[in-house]
Amino acid sequence: MSSRLLLFGGSGRMGQEIISLLGQNSDQWTLAVSLGREDSLDNVAPESIDMVIDFSSAQVFPEILNWSHNNRKPMVSGTTGLSEKDMALLAKAARDIPLLWAPNMSLGIAMVAEMMESFAKLTDFDFQVEEFHHRHKMDSPSGTALFLQEELVKAVSSEKSKKQSSPVPQPLSVRGGGIFGVHRVFAMSENEVITLEHQALGRGVFAQGALKAAEWLKDKGPGQYSMRDVLRS
């Protein structure tokens, strides 16, 4: 039997991309409810929902998180620009429900994060994260750039690499045109440059990742999960 989905942000660019994919996955998913700015969660019957997917905005994120938490529904969220307070709420809710939040739903970015772990072996290198996005993107640096920055800092924070490399500067952001998302991580020494680059060629990669994450989350217990967990499974 297919699982019934509540799509929060269904009228948005990502929401529409997910809706177009659902048709190809109708044995696994049924779109039970799709909500935009004009709609209210008060009218949603919790018993008609098995899974929540959220691609909305940071302003409204606490609403859908609380709804999922109060009704004990597993939730996948790709909403970016979240505050520290939102992240704390997310961690709290994850004690009671399965929750996967990822600022980038592509398995490729999860792979870049895995690959960056080997940067721990480098000494006397400087590091930099850079990102390019379309002109409509609200948050800057992108959530993905912040995620990569965090993973990079973790990777190169061993005592040995800390002593020999300079601190990692803030990510560089460029906004323009219709770029879906380009992220680069540079490791630079006097003699060589290593570049890891990920390009999203369309929104479909994020929508596919979100559905894959939701499928993976279906049989998980409470906890906060990431796309790296999906990649590793």
Ligand X SMILES: NC(=O)c1ccc[n+]([C@@H]2O[C@H](COP(=O)([O-])OP(=O)(O)OC[C@H]3O[C@@H](n4cnc5c(N)ncnc54)[C@H](OP(=O)(O)O)[C@@H]3O)[C@@H](O)[C@H]2O)c1
User: What is the smallest separation between the CB atom of 17 and ligand X, expressed in angstroms?
Assistant: 8
Chain residues in the site for ligand X (CB under 6 A): 9-15, 36-38, 55-57, 59-60, 78-81, 102-105, 206
Q: Smaller CB distance to ligand X: residue 38 or 192?
A: 38
Q: Smaller CB distance to ligand X: residue 105 or 116?
A: 105
H-type alpha helices, 73-169: 84-93, 107-116, 143-155, 159-164
Q: Smaller CB distance to ligand X: residue 98 or 141?
A: 141
CA gap 135, 3 in Å, rounded: 35
Instruction: Name the residue type at position 44.
Output: V
Q: Which of 73, 137, 198, 212 is catalytic?
A: 137
User: What is the smallest separation between the CB atom of 1 and ligand X, expressed in angstroms?
Assistant: 27
Is residue 137 among the annotated active site residues? yes
Q: Which residues touch 144 (CB under 8 Å, ≥6 apart)?
A: 80, 103, 104, 109, 131, 181, 183
Q: Which residue is nearest to ligand X (CB)?
A: 12
Q: Which two tokens stand for residue 166?
A: 């300079």
User: What is the smallest separation between the CB atom of 183 and ligand X, expressed in angstroms?
Assistant: 11
| Three-class DSSP category at 226 | coil
User: What is the smallest separation between the CB atom of 217 and ligand X, expressed in angstroms?
Assistant: 15
Contact 153, 116 (CB under 8 A): no
Q: Which of 133, 183, 198, 212 is catalytic?
A: 133
Q: Smaller CB distance to ligand X: residue 58 or 194?
A: 58
Q: Which residues touch 37 (CB under 8 Å, ≥6 apart)?
A: 11, 60
Instruction: Name the residue type at position 107.
Output: L
| Active-site residue list | 133, 137
